[in-house]
């Protein structure tokens, strides 16, 4: 808050030119101190900066507007939708969540054009690296492209379905998905334990070979990570324990999840920068917010809204805000280094758009009612749904790369 001192003036003083001059001088002096978000009320105040990816228009700051056209696809026209995000298959009764379009503040975001996208990536390759939200976006992309063509499923790196590649023959375009929720090498200390609460060993200075050993030839890498860092972890550097998060071991230094998160991104970006033959463009897809209401995720929390909320009604806060700021800081660091090396780093900043979309999650419509799944999914996104906007933004960024 900027404090402007009070001026005790005579009643006629306001009418003279000296006062007007004085007020003008004060404003000139104070103007550089005013945060930009005060001057741009449509941007959420938690955002640390105006996106440098905006070129002629900042496509990441805007509002959702009603848009009554049919969605690009449905669960009958796209075979790539995982059941967990197939909300219409499992009986979600409302459709309003599909009838909104992202409108940047000062320009239009074009609708997704599948033929244009495929022409832009002709002869190239693209890999999504990260957790299931990265896969969520990739499946959205596959569904969007299915309006033109389906790919061939080609030999994957391993038989594990979490590591897959697809080939669009007519466009000589390879699409890949690499499962690496922590981005760095991870050892599960209890493979048979509960998925959301078992202790993991994270080697923070070693990129996960699941992606790092395969990525050097790719033209576009879309990297992301988030919610897995909330769990219990022991942190290793140089082969030695340096601390932990929620490990409940008195002999180990207690560090926050943000320490591990920062190091994981730093190692990942450093790995991409150090690959001798890598000449691709790296996109950091920013944190995708969860929207548990009426309780925590494991204590009855759900996401039952059917429409977006207004800008400002919801915002990133707490751990999610700190994760967002951490990844953006590491991205900036990598971008500076990449510029020296001739490598491009781009920010796919979806957080402001998605924080006001609590209506877009599966909730309990990712399974049949009789399956008795008690935990709602307020993390992933229904397909079709607002996540398709991520690929509208990605397409716009690819068009920028060509100009």
- Catalytic amino acids? 132, 377, 380
Residue whose C-alpha is closest to residue 361's, from 25, 120, 103, 90: 90
Q: Is the peptide bond prior to 277 cis by the omega test (within 30 degrees of 0)?
A: no
Listed in sequence order, the residues at least 6 apart from 284 whose beta carbon sits closer than 8 Å to its beta carbon are 223, 224, 265, 327, 328, 331, 345, 346, 347, 348
Are 136 and 381 in contact, with CB atoms under 8 Å apart? yes
Are 394 and 222 in contact, with CB atoms under 8 Å apart? yes
CA torsion angle 102 123 276 263 (round to 10): 20
Tokens 């494991």 sit on residue: 298
- As a whole number of angstroms, the distance between CA 227 and CA 320 comes to 9
357: three-class secondary structure by DSSP: coil
Q: How many CB atoms lie within 10 A of CB 241?
A: 15
Beta strands at 220-223 and 281-285: parallel, antiparallel or unpaired = parallel
């Amino acid at each position: 808050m900027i404090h402007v001192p009070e001026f005790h003036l005579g009643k006629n003083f306001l009418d003279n030119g000296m006062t007007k001059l004085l007020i003008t001088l004060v404003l000139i002096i104070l103007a550089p101190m005013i945060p930009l978000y005060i001057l741009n009320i449509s941007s959420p105040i938690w955002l640390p900066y105006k996106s440098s990816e905006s070129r002629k228009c900042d496509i990441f700051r805007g509002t959702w507007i009603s848009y009554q056209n049919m969605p690009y696809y449905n669960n009958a026209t796209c075979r790539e939708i995982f059941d967990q995000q197939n909300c219409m298959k499992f009986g979600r009764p409302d459709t309003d969540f599909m009838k909104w379009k992202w409108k940047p503040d000062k320009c239009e975001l074009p609708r997704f054009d599948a033929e244009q996208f495929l022409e832009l990536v002709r002869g190239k390759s693209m890999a999504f690296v990260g957790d299931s939200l990265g896969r969520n976006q990739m499946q959205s992309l596959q569904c969007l492209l299915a309006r033109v063509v389906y790919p061939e499923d080609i030999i994957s790196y391993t038989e594990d379905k979490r590591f897959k590649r697809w080939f669009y023959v007519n466009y000589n375009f390879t699409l890949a998905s690499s499962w690496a929720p922590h981005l760095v090498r991870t050892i599960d200390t209890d493979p048979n334990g509960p998925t959301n609460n078992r202790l993991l060993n994270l080697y923070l200075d070693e990129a996960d070979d699941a992606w790092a050993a395969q990525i050097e030839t790719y033209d576009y890498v879309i990297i992301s990570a988030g919610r897995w860092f909330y769990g219990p972890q022991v942190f290793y550097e140089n082969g030695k324990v340096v601390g932990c998060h929620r490990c409940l071991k008195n002999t180990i230094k207690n560090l926050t999840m943000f320490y591990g998160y920062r190091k994981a991104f730093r190692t990942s970006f450093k790995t991409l920068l150090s690959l001798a033959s890598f000449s691709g463009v790296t996109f950091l897809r920013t944190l995708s917010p969860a929207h548990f209401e009426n309780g925590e995720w494991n204590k009855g929390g759900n996401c039952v809204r059917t429409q977006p909320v207004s800008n400002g009604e919801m915002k990133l806060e707490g751990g999610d805000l700190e994760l967002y700021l951490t990844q953006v800081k590491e991205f900036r660091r990598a971008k500076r280094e990449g510029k020296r090396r001739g490598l491009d780093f781009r920010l796919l900043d979806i957080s402001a758009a998605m924080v006001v979309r609590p209506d877009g999650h599966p909730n309990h419509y990712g399974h049949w009612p009789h399956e008795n799944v008690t935990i709602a999914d307020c993390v992933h996104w229904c397909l079709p749904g607002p996540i398709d906007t991520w690929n509208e933004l990605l397409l716009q960024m690819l068009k920028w790369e060509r100009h």
